[in-house]
Amino acid sequence: MDEKFLTARIDDLCELCDKTNAPKFLGFLSEKEAAIANKHLSGSKKAIVFYGGYEGALRTVLGVLPEGLSDVPFPITPLSFVFRKQDELAHRDFLGVITGLGIAREKIGDILVQKGRAVVFADPSAAKFILSQIDKVGRVGVTVREGFDQPLPEASQKKEFSDTVASLRLDCVIAAICGLSRKEAIEHIEKEYVFVNSLVSDKITSRVKNGDIISVRKKGRFIIKSVDGVSKKGRTVLIYDKYI
């Protein structure tokens, strides 16, 4: 979505929230779009929430809430697709069949796929249409229902790594997990290539903490699992998962 168009839509959303004194929503937004929205609203006194249907979602809905509200249901409907485990289906197969119905990409959130099952997060109106229209993905028969069973399919496989860092400053951590020099890590941060918990983090002195989800453009996505250990040389032991 073009940045000027996106910020204009956000301004309209805020105005409508003020007029109706009711929560208003926009999305699903990509990580980049969510970062633009967050930056555009940085001076706003309204409650701003990004949520994609589950913790750690990549594509999220922006919620603009009137004063006094902090916890509201988001217009997100999860759908479960069930198919034979021997049938090979991937993210692109589900996205293709859904957008082939004429549903806009912004109406669809994350698509999580595993053998025999996929979970798609969608706008309620899109979800209703999908339920009524899809019984095949490609040549594979599927059963579609609302809701999902825990645990969710993994967005992708992960592999655990460990390293030591002199500091938990963002530039030090980015250098370690991406195999970059400190200078290269700082350049990535200053160019807004680094996202922490789905939002751009452009301050090299920001502190990384347990549970942070870090995405670095063209370098990958990481989950910080532990920053509590200390090496014999007094450096912080960093344990993290990388999506592969």
- What residues does each domain of the chain span? 3-65, 77-146, 158-243
Fold classification of 158-243 (topology level):
3.10.290
pLDDT computed for residue 47 by the predictor: 86
Helix (H) or strand (E) holding 175: helix 170-178
Mean pLDDT over 63-85 rounds to: 92
CATH code of 77-146, in short, is 3.30.70.330
Distance of CA 234 to the CA centre of its chain: 34
Q: Which two tokens stand for residue 166?
A: 């002199």
Q: How many other C-beta atoms can be found within 10 angstroms of the C-beta atom of residue 155?
A: 17
pTM: 0.74
Residue 215 pLDDT > 80:
yes
Band of residue 43 on the pLDDT scale cut at 50, 70, 90: confident
Mean pLDDT of 94-123: 96
Number of Cβ within 10 Å of residue 207's Cβ equals 12
109 CB-side CA count, 13 A: 32
Cα gap 181→229, rounded to integer Å: 23
pLDDT mean over 90-105: 96
Neighbouring residues of 159: CB distance < 8 A, sequence distance ≥ 6: 241, 242, 244
pLDDT band at 68 (very low <50, low <70, confident <90, very high): confident
pLDDT score of 2 more than 90: no
3-state secondary structure of 24: strand
pLDDT at residue 156 greater than cutoff 70: no
Q: Is the pLDDT of residue 13 over 90?
A: yes
List Cβ<8 Å contacts ≥24 apart for 144-152. Answer: 144/79, 144/80, 144/81, 144/82, 145/79, 145/80, 145/82, 146/77, 146/78, 146/79, 146/80, 147/78, 147/79, 147/80, 148/78, 148/79, 148/80, 148/119, 149/80, 152/54, 152/112, 152/119
Whose CA is closest to 120, among 83, 84, 65, 159?
83
- In the predicted model, is pLDDT for residue 70 greater than 80? no
Q: Which CATH architecture has domain 3-65?
A: 2-Layer Sandwich (3.30)
Q: What is the pLDDT of residue 31?
A: 82
List, in order, residues 6 or more apart from 139 with CB less than 8 Å away: none
Q: What rounded mean pLDDT belongs to the chain?
A: 92
